[in-house]
Structures are given as structure tokens and as C-alpha cells.
Structure 1
Amino acid sequence: MIHRYKLNGYNIVLDVFSGSVHVVDDLAYDIIGMYEDTDTDGIIAAMLKQYADDASVDEAEIRDCIDDIEELKEQGKLFTADDYADLAFDFKARNTVIKALCLHVAHTCNLNCEYCFASQGKYHGDRALMSFDVAKQAIDFLIEHSGSRKNLEIDFFGGEPLMNFDVVKEITAYCRSIEKEKGKNFRFTLTTNGVLLDDEVIDFANKECHNVVLSLDGRKEVHDRLRKTVNGNGSYDLIVPKFRHFVERRGNKGYYIRGTFTHNNTDFTNDIFHMADLGFTELSMEPVVCPPDDPYALTYDDLPVLFEQYEILAKDMLRREKEGKPITFYHYMLDLNAGPCIYKRISGCGSGTEYMAVTPWGDLYPCHQFVGNTEHLLGNVYDGVTNPAVQDEFKLCNAYARPDCKDCWAKLYCSGGCAANAYHATGSVTGTYQYGCELFKKRIECAIMMKVAQAQNAE
């Protein structure tokens, strides 16, 4: 499978199944587009007609180009066969170990964000804080079901996890106390809205947390529109000084500023640039996922604007890099030489199998976006997975299980997409969230273009 596109002055050809990326001239670009469906004589005739006004393009030049394409094909760098479909075996046969838990230590929040998928942290249920006893059982459950895997991950999540900071500290101390005995290594991530961020939290995070996710939507007027305190006031002025202090104390690494853009700010690059101007360099900006009748829901009419925004961002990031002031954008992080293994590229995040969310009372769900949806309740940290049918369904979540992914060039980059988004859009975890697919494909095109530009600038 081949994907061709033009961006930022480059003619880019991606060979999907080998992962090879080629930057070609116009003639090669056009011939590659015809190669699979047209014989040599037909290609020559078409190119001679198309390039009739270009004296440099004659039959010999066209034949040389075809020869180069055929050589790349023989080398397995163009028109490569899909050798991975057979690897998408019945995932029910997998003996999957659990490697990560998302601990919902607080089903409550000190903000009242209008677009919150978790219903202001309550997950459409009662407010609750996780006890240490439940948390300890969750850790013991993870260890018991992690097999020989050494590196385990714990995400402190909510609601707002710092509303239960004492238990966060207790959980961390417990994990550290058993690491050596159990032969495990724990990595912690904390996601916070910043309201309760202080020097004690910063000291803890700098000592214990591999990553910290800070929620900020960008410009003050954008952030304050939807991210309000319980009193209805905007939270920008409250949290931004704390975030700047945190990032400075953390040495500008091991964190992400994570924002959400909506129909209200389709010019979201201005929010990213605003955050960069504040001194933040590790950035993520996610499209809102909400019912289509919400006033801030993204529409299909927004797509051309969003595509343009992603291109603006990629080009500006290249400019900043040249000037020695780079920023990182989460969705443009792409390693073309040593990326994820093919198993990971097919199967994705592992929700419901390798990764689970734990509620304050110990229930297990496939991930944080399914919490509260009882039809996806897996079990609990005391009895383990008691609903294997749900887990079997998630074992089948992969790039080859979704019919809509069959002919998609991006499937080995998105692994079939987010199961939660698919479920909320289609009612099935093996469906596809088409709107998200369009945005993802554009981001990957931009990320590949950046790699091309960086390689050429290095030459």
C-alpha cells in the first residue's frame, strides 16, 4: 500500500508496510501513482502527454524513473506486501499480562469544566475518594497479574487526584517499599488541573513522578470559557503561575501541558504558541470528544481549518527548531527508524488487557473513558476479571479487526484508533471514530513531513 501527498514543498511517498518514506520529484510522484494500475507503455504515453512542455522529460527519462521504482520494489521499499495481517491472530489466545493501572484516586474535582467527559470528575456517579486499602489491593492485583514484566506504570488520575494527595503519597511509598522484593520497577504519572499545586506536591513529583500532565487550554479567554472553578470563575490566573513555577523547578522536562480544543478555538495553534510563549515546551492539544449537539463540538465544516492549523504548527515547529528554540508536540512525536514493535503498532494501547482503570471502590474498567459504563465493568481488584467476555472483546481491538481500517494507509500508526472514541461514536469498540481518523491522518502526514525536513536540513 502506498500513500502519496504533497506538503510544505515536498512530494512524499510512504510505503505503508515497510515504513519507507521517499521524497521524490514530480515525475516519480506521478509515475508511482500510476504504477500498480498501468503498464509501462501506458505510463510512458501518459507522462509524455502530461510533461509535453518540459524538455527534460523524454521517454528515456521516464523509463529510467520506472527502473528506479522497480528497483525499490525489489528492495522491499515500495509496494511492499502486507505481511502483518496474519499477525492479527485471534487475540483471545493471548496470555496478556497487565502492565499499567490508572488509579482514580478522586472522583471529585475542584474545577467545573463544562466539557469534562468525566462529569466534573464524578463519572456520572457519586463523589468519592479512594482509600489506601483499595489502592493497596489494586497494586497487589497489578503485581499478581504482571507476570515476569519488570516495569509497571501507575497513573494518578481523577477528577483531581491532588484532592486525595495523602493517599497518592501512601500508594507511592507502598510501591517503593516492595519493588525490590517483587522484582518490579514502578513509574508514576500524575495528571492535575494545578489548583492544589504547591511546593510539597512539586517536591513529591520531582522525586517520584516520571511524568506530570498539566491541564491548560491555552489563551486566557479560551481556557476560562470552559475551565471554570466551582464558583464560575475562570481558572487561568490561578493555575498558570503555579505551572510556570512547577516547570522551572522540574528543569523543563518530564511534563506535558495538555490542552483541549473545541469548536470555539479551531485556531488552536494560537493557543499552542501562547503556551510556548509562557515558557512551556512540552505540549499536547487534543480535539474535544463530546456529543455532536454540544455547542463546542467540532463539526465537519471545521476540518479544513483544523488541517490548516496542523500544517501551520508543523512549519512553525521547524522554524523554532532552526532558531534553537524547539518545542515538542505530542502528536508529532514519530520515530521512523526505531518506533514501536509491530505487535504494538497492530494492537495499540492495550486498554482492557494490559491497561485498566480502577475506581475509588476498586472496580476495574478497560480505561478511564469507560468508567461508569457498567456494561464494560471487567471486575474488581479483589476478585480480578470476572467478566471475561468484555476482556475478550478488547483483546480483539486491533488495526485489522475494524473493517473501516482495511484500506487505510495510517492503520499501523494508530493501531485502529481509540476503543473508547469508537464506542462512543458507533456503539462498538471495534468501530471507527471517523472524525478522529481524519485528524489523526493529518497529524501523521505533518509528522512525517517534519522528519523529511529535518533529514534534509541535516544534510
Structure 2
Amino acid sequence: MIHLYKNNGYNLCLDVNSGSVHVVDDLSYEVLKGMQDGKDADTITKELSGSYDAGEVSEVIGECELLKKQGMLFTEDPYRDKIDQFAHRPTVVKALCLQIAHDCNLACRYCFAEEGEYHGKRGMMTFEVGKKALDFVVANSGSRKNLEVDFFGGEPTMNWQVVKDLVAYGRSIEEKYNKKFRFTLTTNGVLVNEEIMDFCDKEMGNVVMSVDGRAETHNHMRPFRNGKGSYELVIPKFQKWAERRNQDKYYVRGTFTHYNLDFAKDVLALADLGFKQISIEPVVAPPTEDYALREEDLPVIKEQYDILAKEIIKRTKEGRGFNFFHFMVDLTGGPCVYKRLSGCGAGGEYLAVSPWGELFPCHQFDGNRDFVLGTVDEGVTRPDLVEKFKEVNVYSKKECSECFSRFYCSGGCAANSFNFTGGINDVYKIGCELQKKRTECALMIKAALADEEGNTSVRNDIKADEDCGACRGE
């Protein structure tokens, strides 16, 4: 399976199963189209003879056939028959999202967590509950050494002492159990101060700073409860913090909605403020919300991704580039194939913990009583539900199994699938369309920058499970 497309003056060919990306000329593009349609060499040569020299066509066909033999074009899918074995592997928990605070000091209009309440009541996680959560992940992580714990909310800095105490506890048990915790924090910045920055710079492997871009965009969607905007308060803090972290191991993370379909301007506004690690994501909301994205918005949104991709290339060549999360594709390494097939591991490898110690498949299911998997006291009491989540992969969804972007999307978000279709094993169609466009832009950026060095093909070695250090727990 290959995917042919044109973007920013480049003819691109993605070999889906190997991950190889080729920049081709017009003749090669037409030859590949013919091969993709199942036409033989004689038919392709005859059809193109009116526009190209027959000898040149024959030469290009030979080059494409050589790439096929080398495993860089029209490669077979070696993983479809192995996915059942992977889906029924023993469950090893390696990441937790601690809902450290079911409360927030902002009133973001698009918040899926209902200003931190998660369809329930406000509350703060106690140290005792958090301690049990860390004990739970250690006990259920098998031989995996590296464990991920994200302090999330609501706004986790509203429960800051517990955050510090849990980090200290985690560090105190690492050597005993041969584990290593990588803590992260997601914050709106309102309460961030020098003490919080100092602590996070020492203990947090990553910090996510919530900001939506331009002042008018941010203040419209992320106000305080009195309606006043929060931009002027948080931006100077975030700028200072990004510099303190040497413009690494953080993201400014925002959301675009129907109200700012020109979101490329928000991304570039953040870049102009000095941020080098940026993520602006599409809002996911029911169509009844006025800020929700609609199918008729798709052409504009796709055009914005093109604008952004071209600007990233330009700025990178000028020496002032930045990373945009959705365009970050590793063509020479990347995640192992099973990660590409199964995504985030929600409901199995990745769980969320409510302030009261309930286990959910991820933070977006928090508050939905149908998805309570167990508690930190009892452990997982719904293994049947865990098995359902483990069976979610790119081959369990017809749309994914036929999609060129499946190794970059990993099947999409189970929570989005549930919220829009009522099942965890379907797709959120608007999200699919945007993911495909982002993949095309990301590959084009790689091609454009590789073209500067004279490279026209990049081989992506998609690694199997046994070759991947992450899967071995390293």
C-alpha cells in the first residue's frame, strides 16, 4: 500500500507498511499511480508515451521495481496476522494520570472536565490515595523499570503540597523496587511561582503549560470565573519557565475551536513569543456546542496546516525554527510497531486515578461510572473491560486498516470514539480527516528539509516488539 499526494510543490510517496518516504518527479509520480492501480509495465509505458519518452518511462519502472525488492515500495503488511497475539498480551501498567485536583481556578469554555468537576463533585486527592496509586503502578508494572506519572486536573497546583509529597514518596521507593518515575505536570499557570518552577525543574521530566495562542483567542476561551482573561497573568510566567528549562522538556499546549479557525496565527504568535515547543490541538466537542468544529470547517483547517507547515520550513532554514507537536515525525526510528498499532494504551497500560482512588481507562473517562475499572485499594476489578480496550487497534477498525496514516495515528482516541459513536472501537471522523492532513504536512516538512541535503528517499525502520527498548521496559 502506498499513498501518493502533492504538497507545497513536492510529489510525495509514502510506502505505508515500511514507512519509507520518497520525493519523486512528475514521471515517477505517474508511474507509481499506474503501479498503484495494478497496471503492468507495458500498459503504463503505453499510457505515458504521449507525454514522456518510452525509454525514460521504462527506466523509472525499473527503479520502482528495484525499490519494491528492497522493501521500500508496495511492501506487504507483516503485522496484521500478529495483532491478536499482541492484543492478548499480559497487562502491564506503565503510566498513570493522577487527577490530583477535581477543581480549577479558571472557567475554560471548552473544558471536557467541567471546570475540574468531571461530571461529579469537586475534590482534592489526598496523599494517602496518591500513595496507593503509586504503589499500584509499581505492583502492576511487571519488569518495566521506567514509569510515567502525570499530575493532572482541574488544576494540580491547587493541591501542590500533595504533588510534592507524592514525588518525594515515589523517589523514596525507586531503588527498592528497581523503578524510575518520570513525573510530569499540566498547569494553567495561574498559581505558578518561583517555588513551583524550582521544584518542577528538578523533578518533572516534562511540563505542559496551557495557553491558546494570541491574547484574544486565549482570553475568549480561558477566562477566570469572573470573565476576566488569564493571558496577561500566565504568559510572562510561561516565557520565563520555558527559558529556565532551556526551551526543552515542556510544551505550551492550546486548543483551537470554531472561533479561531485561523489557528496558524496562534501557533506563530506563540513562536514569536519565544516558545520552541508548541502544541495547538483541535477542540473535541459535541456539535451542539457553538465552539465545536464542523465538517464544513475542514477545508479552512487543512489550509491552516499547510500555511503552518510552509512557515515552519521557512523559519527552520532561517535558523529560528520551532517544534509543532503534530508535525513531529521520526522517520528513522520512532516508536515500535506495536505502539503504532495500539496507540496510548488507555485502559491497560495507561490508567487515570480519580481523587477518590477510582481507576478509569484515561482522564477523559473520569466521571463515567460505566468505565470504573477498579480502585487503588482493590486493584482492577473489571478485567473484562480491560480486555475490550486491549483489543482496540488499527486492524479492529475498518477505517484504520485501510488508512495510510494508521502508523502515525495508531487508531485515534478511544474516548473520542466513545463520545461520538457510543463505542470505543470506532473512529471520530473529523479527527481522522485532520490527522491525515497533519501526516501529509509532517512528511512534506521532512521531505523539504531532506531535499536541502539532496535526499529523495528516507527509509523508516519500523521496529518490532523484541527490538524496542521501550517495550522491554528500559
- Tell me whether 1:277 sits opposite 2:278 in the alignment: no
Mapped to 2, the partners of 1:27 and 1:278 lie a distance apart of: 43
Partner of 2:302: 307
Deviation at 1:454, TM superposition (A): 1.3
Partner of 1:386: 381
Identify the range of structure 1 (281-290 vs 87-96) with the bigger mean alpha-carbon deviation: 87-96
The higher relative CO (CA closer than 8 Å, separation ≥ 6) is in: 2
Mapped to 2, the partners of 1:397 and 1:168 lie a distance apart of: 32
Partner of 2:24: 24
Mapped to 1, the partners of 2:137 and 2:240 lie a distance apart of: 34
- One-letter amino acid of the structure 1 residue matched with residue 386 of structure 2: Q
Cα-to-partner distance string for 1:99-128 (whole Å, 9 max, x where unaligned)? 010000100000011110001110011000
Q: Work out which of the residue numbers 340, 347, 350 in structure 2 matches 1:345.
A: 340
Task: Summarize the alignment of residues 33-432 of structure 1 with structure 2, pairs less than 5 Å apart.
Answer: 33-35=33-35, 36-49=37-50, 51=51, 57-89=52-84, 91=86, 93-432=88-427
Does the aligned pair in 2 maintain the 1:102–1:157 contact within 8 Å?
A: yes
Mapped to 2, the partners of 1:43 and 1:252 lie a distance apart of: 51
- One-letter amino acid of the structure 2 residue matched with residue 457 of structure 1: E
Does the aligned pair in 2 maintain the 1:136–1:171 contact within 8 Å?
A: yes
What value does the CA root-mean-square deviation take over the aligned residues? 1.0
Does the aligned pair in 2 maintain the 1:90–1:396 contact within 8 Å?
A: no
Mapped to 1, the partners of 2:221 and 2:62 lie a distance apart of: 57
Q: Work out which of the residue numbers 439, 442, 446 in structure 1 matches 2:437.
A: 442
Mapped to 2, the partners of 1:140 and 1:330 lie a distance apart of: 32
Cα-to-partner distance string for 1:217-261 (whole Å, 9 max, x where unaligned)? 011111111111011111111111211222222222211000000
Deviation at 1:151, TM superposition (A): 0.4
Does the aligned pair in 2 maintain the 1:91–1:396 contact within 8 Å?
A: no
Does the aligned pair in 1 maintain the 2:328–2:442 contact within 8 Å?
A: yes
SS at match of 2:452: helix
Does the aligned pair in 2 maintain the 1:314–1:450 contact within 8 Å?
A: yes
Deviation at 1:279, TM superposition (A): 1.2
- One-letter amino acid of the structure 1 residue matched with residue 408 of structure 2: Y
Deviation at 1:375, TM superposition (A): 0.9
- One-letter amino acid of the structure 1 residue matched with residue 47 of structure 2: A
Does the aligned pair in 2 maintain the 1:104–1:157 contact within 8 Å?
A: yes
Mapped to 2, the partners of 1:100 and 1:288 lie a distance apart of: 24
Mapped to 1, the partners of 2:110 and 2:346 lie a distance apart of: 23
SS at match of 1:239: helix
Does the aligned pair in 1 maintain the 2:86–2:338 contact within 8 Å?
A: no
Please give the TM-score of this superposition, normalised by the length of structure 2: 0.94
Q: 1:92 to 1:328 in 2, by over 3 A?
A: closer
Deviation at 1:317, TM superposition (A): 0.8
- One-letter amino acid of the structure 2 residue matched with residue 30 of structure 1: E
Identify the range of structure 1 (19-28 vs 122-131) with the bigger mean alpha-carbon deviation: 19-28
Deviation at 1:90, TM superposition (A): 5.2
Deviation at 1:91, TM superposition (A): 5.0
Mapped to 1, the partners of 2:72 and 2:216 lie a distance apart of: 48
SS at match of 2:176: helix
Deviation at 1:392, TM superposition (A): 0.8
Cα-to-partner distance string for 1:292-315 (whole Å, 9 max, x where unaligned)? 121111111111111111111111
Q: 1:81 to 1:188 in 2, by over 3 A?
A: same
Mapped to 2, the partners of 1:251 and 1:375 lie a distance apart of: 43
Structure 1 stretches lacking a partner, 5+ long = 52-56
Identify the range of structure 1 (405-414 vs 268-277) with the bigger mean alpha-carbon deviation: 405-414
SS at match of 1:302: helix
Identify the range of structure 1 (361-370 vs 338-347) with the bigger mean alpha-carbon deviation: 338-347
Does the aligned pair in 2 maintain the 1:5–1:11 contact within 8 Å?
A: yes
Does the aligned pair in 1 maintain the 2:133–2:357 contact within 8 Å?
A: yes
Does the aligned pair in 2 maintain the 1:425–1:433 contact within 8 Å?
A: yes
Deviation at 1:28, TM superposition (A): 1.0
Cα-to-partner distance string for 1:267-318 (whole Å, 9 max, x where unaligned)? 0010011111111111000000001121111111111111111111111111
Does the aligned pair in 2 maintain the 1:106–1:160 contact within 8 Å?
A: yes
Mapped to 2, the partners of 1:443 and 1:73 lie a distance apart of: 26
- One-letter amino acid of the structure 1 residue matched with residue 46 of structure 2: A
Deviation at 1:40, TM superposition (A): 2.3
Partner of 2:460: none
Please give the TM-score of this superposition, normalised by the length of structure 1: 0.97
Q: 1:281 to 1:66 in 2, by over 3 A?
A: same
Cα-to-partner distance string for 1:314-368 (whole Å, 9 max, x where unaligned)? 1111111111111011111111111111111111110110000000000000000
SS at match of 2:451: helix
Mapped to 2, the partners of 1:250 and 1:80 lie a distance apart of: 42
Mapped to 2, the partners of 1:331 and 1:411 lie a distance apart of: 14
SS at match of 1:89: helix
SS at match of 2:449: helix
Does the aligned pair in 2 maintain the 1:419–1:430 contact within 8 Å?
A: yes
SS at match of 2:144: coil
Mapped to 2, the partners of 1:425 and 1:13 lie a distance apart of: 32
Mapped to 2, the partners of 1:374 and 1:419 lie a distance apart of: 16
Deviation at 1:428, TM superposition (A): 0.9
Partner of 1:54: none
SS at match of 2:285: coil
